[in-house]
Amino acid sequence: MKEILLYQDEPLNLDLNTIVNNLTNKCSFLRFKVGTSKSVIETPFLKKPESYQSLSDSLKKETENIFKAYIFSEKQYHNNYFFESYENKVIISFFGWDSLTKLSMQNGVVYFIADLLALYIDNTYRHDETTGCIYDFGWHKPGIDLEMRKASICKKCQVRLSKRKFGKDDSEIHSDLNKILGELRNASQKDQDIVLYWGPVSSDEPQETIGDKKKIFSKKYDVFLAHNYVDKPNVRLICEELRRRGLNPWLDEEQIPPGRMFQDYIQEAINNISSAAIIIGNNGLGKWQHLELRSFISRCVVRNIPVIPVLLPGADRLPENLIFLREFVWVDFINNISETKAYDDLEWGIRDRRPNQ
């Protein structure tokens, strides 16, 4: 678990309490808190290291042993950047925000958190142009409006990330990053202040209950993604593309806390999904035993939930032990994981209508 503290410089009046409570509620690995020390930046312009060194001793002490501290300010950077990093602290500038976008600064808070997390897990590449990808550099500052509304990782960057060998912490942060982007995208595309989009979450709720099964299964999901662990990189790409299309997929690594029984959560999940995608690569389905899969599919059929076999690139036929899946029309990624037709077919199976109809 990684802890991130948020601060705001005067005269900002951001609702950081609602932001940290909702982000912590959405994330499985990251925990957000509002710092208790007062944040006052003494320098007239933001500059590294001077502005960071001007912060109070109490703030420096409070942030000594935490993962990251993000400090939001209306002051301008001397180089007109949005932010610079120093040690484990980042000061983020909202200077001229109203001339860049009509979206709330609170959407900006969530955007910059996502941007900094994206850079933490991979700082090897930034788009020079404005694409709407979280890996845009932001040379053209008004492009931040599109970046908040699209709030996604483009296919090129998804492929790059899929080739990286993430450690466990980075993999967890990557998973939480996708959740944060989805929340920001949903609010921004509706032109809503993300705090109003979320509504308040009680700060009195114990943090230990965040991963409780009742919370996890209080939400409905459009599609359950059953797969073999060795196919996880491709499944993550599928999951992200479905989110880009406005769908809400159920993925085990995002929903099952460490130390829990896999099958317990699968049994609960089936009551909260609208469809199931059985994603098959060259290695079959791994932890899914033949009888378990038949039982899972039978329950889907009883509940009238569509079952969609999905063949990954290189898997040109169903394995012999899954031959009973031939009863269902399948989706086929023929050459690569970016094929638009395969995603259109998968979306059609999930929504029961063709895309754009």
**What share of the chain has pLDDT > 90, as a percent?**
64
Whole-number pLDDT of residue 283? 82
Q: What is the average per-residue pLDDT within 209-216?
A: 40
pLDDT band, residue 207 (cuts 50/70/90): very low
pLDDT digits (tens, 9 = 90+) for 273-322: 889 999 999 887 776 666 667 777 887 877 788 999 999 998 877 777 77
pLDDT band, residue 192 (cuts 50/70/90): very high
Q: Lowest-confidence range among 110-124, 212-226, 263-277? A: 212-226
Q: Lowest-confidence range among 24-38, 183-197, 288-302, 331-345? A: 288-302
What pTM value is reported for the model?
0.60
Task: Name the architecture of domain 2-198.
Answer: 3-Layer(aba) Sandwich (3.40)
Whole-number pLDDT of residue 347? 94
End-to-end Cα spacing for the chain = 42
The per-residue pLDDT of the chain, averaged, comes to 88
pLDDT digits (tens, 9 = 90+) for 237-250: 999 999 888 888 99
Q: Which residue would you say has higher pLDDT here, 215 or 151?
A: 151
Are 12 and 105 within 8 A, CB to CB?
Answer: yes
Whole-number pLDDT of residue 291? 61
pLDDT at 210 over 70: no
Quick check: do 2-198 and 211-351 share a fold?
no
pLDDT at 153 over 80: yes
pLDDT at 119 over 90: yes
Give the residue from 84, 78, 80, 112 showing the smallest Cα distance to 99: 80
pLDDT band, residue 109 (cuts 50/70/90): very high
Domain ranges of the chain: 2-198, 211-351
pLDDT band, residue 216 (cuts 50/70/90): very low
Pick the CATH number of 211-351 from 3.40.50.720, 3.40.50.10140, 3.40.50.1860, 3.30.70.100: 3.40.50.10140
pLDDT digits (tens, 9 = 90+) for 42-88: 999 999 999 999 999 999 999 999 999 999 999 999 999 999 999 99
d(C-alpha 278, C-alpha 323), whole Å: 13
44-73 exposure pattern, b = at least 16 Cβ within 10 A, e = fewer = eebbbeebbeebeeebeebbeebbbbbbbb
d(C-alpha 57, C-alpha 278), whole Å: 54
pLDDT band, residue 213 (cuts 50/70/90): very low
